[in-house]
Amino acid sequence: MTNENNAEKAMSVEDVRAYSENYNMGSAARANHVAANAAVKNGVIKAATSYEGTRELTHDFSIELKQGSITDQQRSGRCWMFASLNTLRYELMHRWKLEDFEFSETYLFFWDKFEKSNTYLENVLATLDEPTESRTFEAINAYPADDGGWWQMFANLVNKYGLMPKSAYPESANSKDSDAFTQYLTTKLHQDAIELRERHSKGASIDELRTLKKRYMEDIYRICVIALGEPPAKFDWRARTKDDEDDDKTEAQKSGPKFDKASKTSDGSTQLDSAKTDANNKSDNAQGESGIDERKQIVEHDITPLEFYHKYVPVDVNDFVTLCNNPMKERTFYTNYELKYSTNVAESGDLSFTNVPIDVLRQAAVDQVKAGHPIWFACDCMQYCVRDGGYFSKQAVRVDELFGTDFNIDKANGLKYGDYPSNHAMTITGVNLDENGKPNRWKIENSWGKSTGTDGYYVADGEWFDQFVTEVIIRKEFLDAKTLKATQAEPVKLDPWQTLSARCE
């Protein structure tokens, strides 16, 4: 093509001059200069934050769930895991009357890295004859052991490995800041994939390759242990319950753990015995005259993670389903979709998502919160987010006013063109219903620590929820009959690059 023909594609000096003149012309010039001063000095989000929009989006809700302390994923992509554990810890805390509780995120992080590595190598074995430049192999090879995930990945890990309190397996430098660990784990996995494919090209059998893969996994285990520490097979746990004025136990407490009461020995030390709490052990005497905390305790010795999960978590992770809202015409509603190569645990199978209209997804979320249960959800957290103060709202972030242009991509096209991908998971712990019973504000527990939002919590308005929330995890009991039937249908299989949902980090 000649330079003459290329010239018509270029932005000319005259074009740029005209744009500059329009920018600096007349009444628009003042608004443009004020906007530029604000944005250059403070950044786009702060410059676009509307005091009117934030004032209208109050942090009060008609229904709120009392949750534990705010958690912090720090410099890692474990939001999906934190949100999942925050959902379950609420249920555990309220069943066993604990003031606060936190699961070990590092424990599941360890097994997720280990299982993703195995799944990656299995996927390599399943695609030995695929060209490395094929779309399938590129999808498999892109992120063999990244931090991201979905609720169903979490369920896979819990089913296989159980759970434990954070005290049994605390954070490490590489769980709080996972980049270097993930980088070299990925490099090792790519090296293993290269060798598997080269040996295949020289005639090695699949049995020989799988034997080699198991040797590779010993290296992977060692890398994970050195980075994170070896997970304990058994652990001890002790927790004090909240004061109980009438000293009644729930049915679960009666049949579950052993409650110990602190007592003072003749030498002044404190010991634990299984003596029954007497009628004098009321809330106003939980800390006795001696200053000893005499609240009842749950005590476990040498309990396994699976035993802990089955004994203390009062919900089954398999009783939840993933509802998504993808209004693209290529993704029909009330259809169950399965995403190929999506699992983290090879033997668990690929992940499924039931696509429903937004009003169905929204109502299921309202019903679950009204019944007293938090909700794991996925969204595009980068859209219209004010970290200072904690807002998700197009009325709070007026980039349209700042830049003097509209931003009107609908949800279907936002997903199709990759502008609204799900990239973050959080927990819904409250909702405000208007006079017609419709949600206009959602209370959101984040995992970015207490320094963001309002003490770690955010509020999202109803418009933002409808446009940028892509998935919610709902207990089956809160599904209408049509949706429940759709979740049980034979899934339509999608290739990993076909748009439906994306891993959260």
What positions carry a catalytic annotation? 79, 424, 446
- Distance set, CA 125 to CA 116, 191, 336, 461, 482 (Å): 14, 14, 28, 46, 39
339: β partners: 351, 494
**430 near 442, Cβ under 8 Å?**
yes
- Distance set, CA 63 to CA 68, 99, 330, 362 (Å): 16, 20, 36, 15
CA dist 291 and 287 (Å) reads 6
In 3D, which of 219, 218, 206, 118 has the Cα closest to residue 160? 118
In 3D, which of 91, 6, 31 has the Cα closest to residue 405? 31
64: β partners: 430
Helix or strand run (H / E) with residue 335: strand 335-339
- Distance set, CA 439 to CA 62, 431, 432, 435 (Å): 10, 6, 6, 10
β-pair type (335-339, 351-355): antiparallel
What does the chain come to in residues?
A: 505
Question: Can you list the positions of beta strands (E) in 51-181?
Answer: 63-64
Exposure pattern of 350-379 as b/e (b: 16+ CB <10 Å)? Answer: bbbbbbbeeebbbbbbbbbbeeebbbbbbb
- Is residue 461 helix, strand or coil? strand
- Is residue 283 helix, strand or coil? helix
The DSSP output letter for 315 is S
